[in-house]
Amino acid sequence: MEILSPPLIDTLRLVLEFIATAAFALSGVIMAARKRLDVVGVCVVGFLAAFGGGTLRDVLLDQRPFFWVRHVEFVWGILALSLAAMVFMRQHHIQPTERAMQWPDTIGLGLFAAVGTDLASALGMPALVAVMMGVTTGVFGGVLRDVVCNEIPQAFRDHRPYALCAFAGGWVDLALRQVAAPEWLPVLACVAVTAGLRALAVWRNWELPAWRI
């Protein structure tokens, strides 16, 4: 990865970010379709799932402008995607399977966790808060999506590690920062650990301890 020139890395990162944002938005559109929302609801829930986590993080950290104000083309993209997905799902009576969403969602969780942890850490937040901000960025888009759709957030009742993967990834990010690694290493490690753990959790069917009835 070191041999990639910086602009190429930047482009790669923006492409990955768009894929991740799109995956999160799609999860919102699917939820909105299940709840038979109208076209406004589909777009709002898609937007919330895509940008809600980062926006909540920026409100808590008092950062402006938001990502979607700086990159308004992402909002157009998410609106177009939401509408296209809605039309497609209406015409074909099919929904993107959960499995098809798994990969972009996993990468998205890793990217968002790394971005959030890094930003909070750069602002001098205590370690635990920085990690929490990474988790918030990755997870709270889905939480807002579920709350607006009148469901208990999946991230809180799924019993399959999701937020916990971002939590672990965040600590790896901060730990590598301590040992003066090259600048890009902690970010990359956070993405890899978060996404890797999540992929493992899905693949090996890991389950968090449940309540006995």
**Nearest approach, Cβ of 159 to a copy of itself (angstroms)?**
4
Q: If we measure between CA atoms, which residue out of 146, 144, 141 comes closest to residue 34?
A: 146
Q: How far is the CB of 173 from a copy of itself (least distance, A)?
A: 17
Binders of a copy of itself among residues 144 to 163 (CB under 8 A) are 147-153, 155-159, 162-163
- The number of helices, as runs of H, and strands, as runs of E, in the chain is 9, 0
Helices (H), 62-162: 67-70, 72-92, 98-122, 127-148, 154-157
CB of 156 to a copy of itself, least distance (A): 3
Instruction: Find the binder of a copy of itself among 9, 16, 75, 199 (CB under 8 A).
Output: 75
Instruction: Specify burial of residue 94 (Cβ count, 10 A radius: 0-12, 13-18, 19+).
Output: exposed
Residue from 38, 94, 99, 205 binding a copy of itself (CB under 8 A): 38
Q: Tokens 């990359």 identify what position?
A: 188
Residue tagged 């389950």 (tokens) = 207
Give the range of 2-10, 20-28, 53-61, 100-108 binding a copy of itself by CB under 8 A: 53-61
Question: Can you tell me the distance from the alpha carbon of 111 to that of 157, in angstroms, rounded to the nearest whole number?
Answer: 23
Contact positions vs a copy of itself (CB under 8 A):
32-33, 35-41, 44-45, 55, 59-60, 62, 64, 66, 68-69, 72, 75-76, 90, 93, 125-126, 128-129, 132, 143, 147-153, 155-159, 162-164, 208-212
